[in-house]
Amino acid sequence: MPMKIGEKPFFDRVDDALDDDFMRNAMASAQDRLRDKKLDITERDDQIGDWEEWRSAGAEIRRHTLENLDFYLDQLSENFAEKGGHVYFAKTAEDANRYIQDVAKKKNAKHVTKAKSMVTEEIGLNEALEEVGCHVHETDLAEYILQIDDKDRPSHIVVPSLHKNKGQIRDTFQEKAGYTGTEEPGELTAFARSQLREVFMEADIGITGCNFAVAESGSISLVTNEGNANMVTTYPDTQITVMGMERLVPTWEELDVLINLLSRSAVGQKITTYVTNLTPDVDEGCVDAPKDFHLVILDAGRSNALGTEFQSALHCIRCAACVNVCPVYRQIGGHAYGSIYQGPIGAVLSPILGGYEEYGELPFASSLCAACTEACPVKIPLHEQLIRHRENYVAEQGNAKTSEKMAMKAFGVGASTPSLFQIAVKGAPTFMKPLVRDGSISKGPGPMKPWTAIREFPAPGKDNFRSWFKEHKKGRK
């Protein structure tokens, strides 16, 4: 499954991540920097006004769009087709890949350039295109780095190569692309640029993702900082845009709000260097427009969330604000999630798209601190959805360990039978006495074991609070 990253089980991936000091330092400092820049431009910048009002507007736009998704998808596809574009609704990743393979075959394409394409990572499009003899060239700097480094995978939704430093990038360039320069970022970038110039010129097809599609005009909108998307969409005669079926807005007015929310939430920028809006205009004969423009609208599991408590997960605008504040992501990085969608939104989205069998552990990889919910610019209740996933996982899927189910059953009984609880409170000091050394428990049996693996467990207090309280009340009368 292309969405998947790594073959190892979850805890092995976590161990690998925790052993990687460089990566962890990179994550922590990137989080601190991104979080601070975001706060600067949302809460401390008086130009934007009340950030909470912006969030409410964003949430309302996304809610309205998703509640009327069929209407806006119809509108988008009609308007796109009316101007000469081709629309294809792909039910699965395979459907999308097959359609794109067919276009490539018809064009006899040899070289494909790509930009802004998280969703094509999700469906494994590069491999599909290679199957039909295409050379696929990633043109966003970070994706380019990952591609030439033996197809390494993204570790962050917005900054895909966050887990690498400039020294590693220099080494990769030297080993894989004949680079002879230093690790100075300007020099590295100039090298990548010189390599990509040729590629842009010879591309037969340009492929992009889609930040938003505007239903009222049948346009797609891309926000970029490097401008490569403009090269990808301008040179070849054929363009294919792949979008998740939820990534649309009704009109340009809503686009304005969402782009403000996106760039500020993602990297703390007021606006990105480029906002590229593309509408097919085959009949107009515009010289630099693609003659053949395809829009692939992808379901691939998204409709699983429609009409359920997870519908608002589809509100996500892929800004990674939740990733940038998640204390778990901070420690384990992106690859440990085993999905190209990492962090809190990844833990919510991956099981929706890929199922519990593959991604059932992710909802538990959260302390439910709600930093994600607080950060989300379109107010997705992420931590609540993680709890909903846990409920589904243990109840419907029968996935939980029997011992845990028994423990929770016992909890249910214990927490609704006061007499039992009082027996436990009174009995605990005696019962646990053999384990107590110097006022705490260092090595606990059974369910206490994982706790005491790294921490002391408190010894139960010897006094009985209820008895004390009773006496205390008498004394006050």
Partner 1 sequence: MKVSLFITCLGEMFYQDVAKDVVEVLERLGCEIDLPQGQICCGQPAYNSGYRKDAQKAAKQMITSFEDATYIVTPSGSCAAMFKEYPDLFKEDKEWQERAQAVADHTYEFTQFIVNVLGVEDVGAIYPARATYHTSCHMIRLLQETEAPFKLLKNVKGLELLPLENSYDCCGFGGTFAVKMVPISEQMVDEKIRHVEESTAEVLIAADGGCLMNIKGRIDRKEKPIEVKHIAQILNSRA
Closest CB to partner 1 among 174 and 397?
Answer: 397
Sign of the Cα pseudo-torsion (102, 103, 104, 109, in order): positive
Name the phi and psi angles at 331, rounded to 5. -85, -35
CB of 229 to partner 1, least distance (A): 34
Neighbouring C-beta atoms of residue 285, cutoff 10 Å: 8
- Give which of 117, 276, 121 is closest to 205, Cα–Cα: 117
Angstrom distance (rounded) from CA 180 to CA 364: 45
C-alpha triplet 395, 413, 388: angle, nearest 5°: 25
CB of 279 to partner 1, least distance (A): 42
Closest CB to partner 1 among 167 and 458?
Answer: 458
Closest CB to partner 1 among 277 and 440?
Answer: 440
CB of 202 to partner 1, least distance (A): 46
Q: By the criterion CB under 8 A, which residues form the site for partner 1?
A: 11, 14-15, 18, 24, 28, 32, 325, 327-328, 330-332, 364-371, 373-374, 387, 389-395, 400, 404-405, 408-409, 411-418, 421, 424-425, 428, 440, 442, 447, 450-451, 453-461, 463-466, 468-469, 472, 476
Closest CB to partner 1 among 1 and 28?
Answer: 28
CB of 135 to partner 1, least distance (A): 40
CB of 296 to partner 1, least distance (A): 36
Closest CB to partner 1 among 283 and 463?
Answer: 463
CB of 424 to partner 1, least distance (A): 8
CB of 450 to partner 1, least distance (A): 4
Angstrom distance (rounded) from CA 219 to CA 187: 36
Closest CB to partner 1 among 57 and 394?
Answer: 394
SS3 375: helix
Closest CB to partner 1 among 10 and 212?
Answer: 10
CB of 114 to partner 1, least distance (A): 34
> Do the bridges between strand 212-214 and strand 436-437 make them parallel or antiparallel, or are there none, so unpaired?
unpaired
CB of 366 to partner 1, least distance (A): 7
Closest CB to partner 1 among 252 and 468?
Answer: 468
Q: Could you give the angle at which helices 402-414 and 418-432 cross, rounded to 10 degrees?
A: 120
CB of 194 within 8 A of CB of 181?
Answer: no
Q: Residue 419: exposed, middle, or buried by beta-carbon count in 10 A (0-12, 13-18, 19+)?
A: exposed
CB of 369 to partner 1, least distance (A): 4
CB of 103 within 8 A of CB of 238?
Answer: yes
Query: What is the chain's alpha carbon radius of gyration, rounded to the nearest angstrom?
Result: 26
DSSP-derived secondary structure for 251-263: SHHHHHHHHHHHH
DSSP tag of 433: G
Phi-psi map region of 48: left, alpha, beta (phi>0 left; psi -120 to 50 alpha): alpha
DSSP tag of 7: S
Residues with Cβ within 8 Å of residue 211, at least 6 apart in sequence: 116, 221, 222, 223, 247, 259, 262, 317, 318
